[in-house]
């Protein structure tokens, strides 16, 4: 009798351990392995003597635009599917990526994840009401959510390589932008959160899946693919100039939009002027 009871308990123990080790049901119709195995296509080596023309551009991507929605959604991670800002935060948290200060955009001052979060989650003094209706002041720390970021900035270089006779562009950095408001709730512009060096992010981005608006999850598209193929809409906010000024420093409203279009057309016309038909 004692042996039988011991055997039953042993069987129950093995069964419980078996249930713990058993893999969960597959959430889909196939195992996703393509994204995990992807590697970014390496850049072609460039010689300084072969670069005969360059143009540095800063552009802003508004993730609320229809074309850019895959960079913003999902607001909450769903398995391996995450938004761009959430992917960046995960990479910074685990130390795979490096954040740089927004003091300048030359990637000179790396900052730790804790320093960055201290900047993003600063304590604020607010006024609250007690149950009896009286007011009292207290200090609260508002948590940072990736969904609070609606825009990001891209720094890139356009160039012409005479050796290969190609006109190309390479992204240098990405900077999330978050709307900033006064105490009265008035919008006062976009605040730069941190910079990341794009070539350092490529291996990490190659394993981060982005929603393919054409054929869904079967598209097997990564964030590295999306940036390399330039699947995003944007507008130019600054181009390399002798004054080192942003467009909004000397033009506002419609004039700023026209200046942004002029800068874009200048690049297009230069490329068209390179060839004879």
Token duo for residue 115: 């320093």
Cβ atoms within 10 A of the Cβ of 32, count? 14
Q: pLDDT (tens digit, 9 = 90+) per residue, 60-69?
A: 999 999 999 9
Q: Are 237 and 153 in contact (CB under 8 A)?
A: yes
- Cα distances (angstroms) measured from residue 177 to each of 63, 132, 222: 11, 40, 22
How far apart CA 168 and CA 271 sit, in angstroms, is 10
pTM exceeds 0.85, yes or no: no
Which of 170, 161, 157, 172 lies closest to 51 in space, CA to CA?
161
Main-chain phi, psi angles of 31, to 5 degrees: -80, 125
Per-position DSSP letters for 61-97, written without gaps between them: EETTSGGGHHHH--SS-BTTB--HHHHHHHHHHHTSS
CA angle 100/167/169 to nearest 5° reads 15
Q: pLDDT (tens digit, 9 = 90+) per residue, 190-208?
A: 999 999 999 999 999 999 9
Lowest mean pLDDT among 22-31, 176-185, 265-274: 22-31
Q: Are 57 and 156 in contact (CB under 8 A)?
A: yes
Token duo for residue 61: 């991507």
Q: pLDDT (tens digit, 9 = 90+) per residue, 1-58?
A: 444 444 444 444 444 444 554 667 777 666 676 667 778 889 999 999 999 999 999 9
β-bridge partners, 61: 152
The pLDDT value recorded for residue 215 is 76
Q: Which residue has the higher pLDDT, 265 or 186?
A: 265
| Half-sphere exposure in the Cβ direction for 64 (13 Å, CA) | 7
- Cα distances (angstroms) measured from residue 67 to each of 72, 140, 202, 232: 11, 36, 21, 6
How far apart CA 150 and CA 263 sit, in angstroms, is 24
Q: Are 227 and 205 in contact (CB under 8 A)?
A: yes
Which of 133, 131, 121, 151 lies closest to 61 in space, CA to CA?
151
Which of 248, 212, 61 lies closest to 150 in space, CA to CA?
61
Q: pLDDT (tens digit, 9 = 90+) per residue, 96-133?
A: 999 999 999 999 999 999 999 988 887 777 777 778 77
The pLDDT value recorded for residue 276 is 67
How far apart CA 79 and CA 209 sit, in angstroms, is 10
How far apart CA 259 and CA 237 sit, in angstroms, is 9
**DSSP-based three-state secondary structure for 35:** helix
């Amino acid at each position: 009798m004692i042996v039988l009871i011991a055997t039953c308990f042993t069987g129950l123990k093995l069964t419980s351990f078996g249930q713990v080790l058993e893999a969960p049901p597959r959430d889909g119709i196939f195992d996703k392995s393509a994204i995990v195995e992807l590697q970014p296509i390496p850049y072609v080596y460039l010689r300084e003597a072969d670069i005969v023309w360059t143009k540095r551009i800063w552009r802003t991507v508004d993730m609320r635009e229809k074309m850019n929605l895959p960079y913003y959604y999902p607001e909450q991670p769903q398995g391996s599917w995450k938004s761009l800002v959430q992917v960046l935060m995960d990479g910074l948290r685990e130390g795979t990526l490096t954040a740089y200060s927004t003091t300048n955009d030359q990637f000179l001052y790396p900052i730790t994840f804790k320093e960055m979060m201290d900047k993003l989650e600063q304590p604020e003094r607010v006024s609250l009401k007690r149950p009896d209706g009286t007011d009292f002041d207290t200090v609260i720390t508002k948590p940072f959510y990736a969904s609070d970021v609606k825009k990001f900035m891209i720094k890139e270089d356009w160039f012409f390589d005479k050796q290969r006779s190609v006109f190309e562009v390479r992204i240098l950095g990405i900077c999330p932008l978050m709307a900033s408001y006064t105490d009265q709730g008035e919008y006062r512009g976009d605040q730069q959160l941190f910079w990341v060096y794009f070539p350092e992010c490529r291996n990490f981005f190659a394993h981060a899946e982005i929603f393919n608006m054409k054929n869904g999850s079967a598209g097997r598209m990564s964030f590295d693919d999306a940036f390399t193929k330039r699947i995003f809409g944007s507008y130019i906010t600054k181009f390399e100039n002798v004054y080192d000024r942003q467009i909004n420093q000397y033009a506002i409203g419609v004039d700023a939009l026209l200046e942004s279009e002029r800068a874009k057309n200048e690049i297009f016309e230069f490329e068209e002027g390179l060839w004879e038909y």
